[in-house]
Structure 1
Amino acid sequence: MRRRVPNEVGIAAVVVLVAIVLSVLSPNFRTIENAQVLLLNGAVIAFLALGQTFVLLTGGIDLSTGSNIALTGMIAALATSAGLPWYVAVIAAIAIGLVVGSLNGSLIAYLKLPPFIVTFATFGVAASIPLILTGASSVNVRDPFFAIIGRGALFGIPMPVVLVAVAAIVFSVVLRFTSTGVHIYAVGGNAETSRLAGVRSARVIVLAYALSGLCAAMGGLIVTSRLMVGYPSAGSGNELFYSIAAAVVGGVSLFGGIGSIGGALLGAMLIATVSNGMNVIGVESYWQPLVIGVIILVGVVLDTHRRRISLATLLSRFRGPREAAAAAPTS
């Protein structure tokens, strides 16, 4: 019996190959200092990719992740500037991220609105609120302990990397070993069939978008903690495209129902490596969106091709027994 090679093996090989090529092109890429920068920047991309994975698995998409970074990071900075301790600021930021995600999910699940339109509208709203609250000014973080999130370390491992690892383990367990995970895949695979099977699709969709909001909040906390400043324009760069590219390249289908947390993490590692490598070898920043766009396009093409092959295989297996039965002689 032939064993199926996991999709994660292919993306892992690509990550290693890209890292080797970049190391040859620039000795600075393989330094310890650059590796630390890559991991820290990759942690934000990884969190966004994890959240985007849940949404994509349900057949949706979340365009509000970038502006959610700015909103949650600014809420945390404003909380500390008001004299609140750092852990209260963290809770407030996470709560706001969950609210934004839950609002997206509720509008999509209960009002049957298109995910693209809903999250694009939320993107604009969440991007404007920090500007309105601060008059487009940055806000310094007052509590020095807040730096633990982005600058701290546990046994020598940067805290953002630890947080990503913990989140990835928890999310993997949820998707693989709980009924909630089964329902998420079912809703993305066939929403109508899952509904007829008794799955509460609306709750599953709200949960997926809430988790995406939570992951965006974690990204906002890491960015704000590293800088110890809340910027109203944080997350307005390529974070959104990175999150989608990482998930898709990692094997998460844009059509729903297919993907894994491990694949999304490897995709995030690839995107972070490519972005970091282009910076190290001196590629102009305006080339990066082009490269990421090509990566997304290739991922979509491969995903579409894979689905067609899977559908053709399924149809051939279904037709085989029927054709054999029709050809069999009758007594």
Structure 2
Amino acid sequence: MLVVLHRTAFGLYLYAVGKNEEAARFSGIRTGRVIICAYVICAGLTALSSIFLAMYTRSILPSSHGNFYELYAIAAAVLGGFSLRGGEGSIIGVVLGTILLQVLQNLVNLLGIPSSLNFAVSGSVILIGVLADQEYTEFRKRRELMRGRLATAEGRL
């Protein structure tokens, strides 16, 4: 996936559509096709991982397996640096976010926190990650604005 996202036209189109769909459309990218391809790839990978999970657990009971896996996936992506607004992030960040989330879950178990609070801890981590992403985005905007003002002031001198 790393090669596909960074070394192919499809990966660049995917980042462009994720960042700003309207601008990508105006630049000549067929945004509808890119979005459909992204959903098809996601569905295929989901089916493949479901088959692997069924083979690993030797069971296909929806009531006992796969509960709240989407919460863990979102938490890992947010912790890994993906923006929920789209267009930002990396595969390596998701791997690191997954490792961090697993360490947090193990820490919850080691500290003796009841397992019923495991989802509350994951939700709190997602919330903190989203707030940190928002603050970082605002910080970058302020920094770019200040750089622009400094460049303008230096040009006038």
Do they fold alike, i.e. is TM over 0.5? yes
Structure 2 equivalent of residue 248 of structure 1: 78
Residue 215 and residue 276 in structure 1: after superposition, are their counterparts in 2 closer, same or farther (change >3 A)?
farther
Matched, 1:173 2:3: yes
Aligned partner (choices 30, 34, 51) of residue 221 of structure 1: 51
Q: State TM-score, norm by structure 2.
A: 0.87
Aligned partner (choices 297, 302, 317) of residue 127 of structure 2: 297
The unaligned stretches of length 5 or more in structure 1 are 1-170
Larger RCO of the pair (alpha carbons < 8 Å, separation 6+): 1
SS at match of 1:310: helix
**Structure 1 residue 323: deviation in Å?**
4.1
Q: Mapping of 1:174-193 within 5 angstroms? A: 174-193=4-23
Residue 321 and residue 250 in structure 1: after superposition, are their counterparts in 2 closer, same or farther (change >3 A)?
same
Q: State TM-score, norm by structure 1.
A: 0.44
- For 1:182, the aligned partner's letter is L
**Structure 1 residue 210: deviation in Å?**
2.2
The CA distance in 2 between the partners of 1:306 and 1:200, in whole Å, is 31
**Structure 1 residue 259: deviation in Å?**
0.4
Residue 201 and residue 273 in structure 1: after superposition, are their counterparts in 2 closer, same or farther (change >3 A)?
same
Structure 1 equivalent of residue 60 of structure 2: 230
Structure 2 equivalent of residue 211 of structure 1: 41
SS at match of 1:230: coil
**Structure 1 residue 282: deviation in Å?**
4.4
Aligned partner (choices 24, 37, 41) of residue 194 of structure 1: 24
CA shift digits 1:67-114 (9 cap, x unpaired): xxxxxxxxxxxxxxxxxxxxxxxxxxxxxxxxxxxxxxxxxxxxxxxx
Q: Mapping of 1:46-195 within 5 angstroms? A: 171-195=1-25
**Structure 1 residue 254: deviation in Å?**
0.9
The CA distance in 1 between the partners of 2:94 and 2:58, in whole Å, is 28
**Structure 1 residue 270: deviation in Å?**
1.6
Residue 298 and residue 220 in structure 1: after superposition, are their counterparts in 2 closer, same or farther (change >3 A)?
same
Identity %: 36
**Structure 1 residue 277: deviation in Å?**
4.1
**Structure 1 residue 310: deviation in Å?**
1.6
The CA distance in 2 between the partners of 1:290 and 1:240, in whole Å, is 14
**Which is worse superposed, 204-213 or 257-266?**
204-213
The unaligned stretches of length 5 or more in structure 2 are none
SS at match of 1:229: coil
- For 2:23, the aligned partner's letter is T
Q: Mapping of 1:269-284 within 5 angstroms? A: 269-279=99-109, 282-284=112-114
Structure 2 equivalent of residue 103 of structure 1: none
**Structure 1 residue 182: deviation in Å?**
1.1
> RMSD of the TM alignment (CA)?
1.9
Structure 2 equivalent of residue 63 of structure 1: none
**Which is worse superposed, 252-261 or 207-216?**
207-216
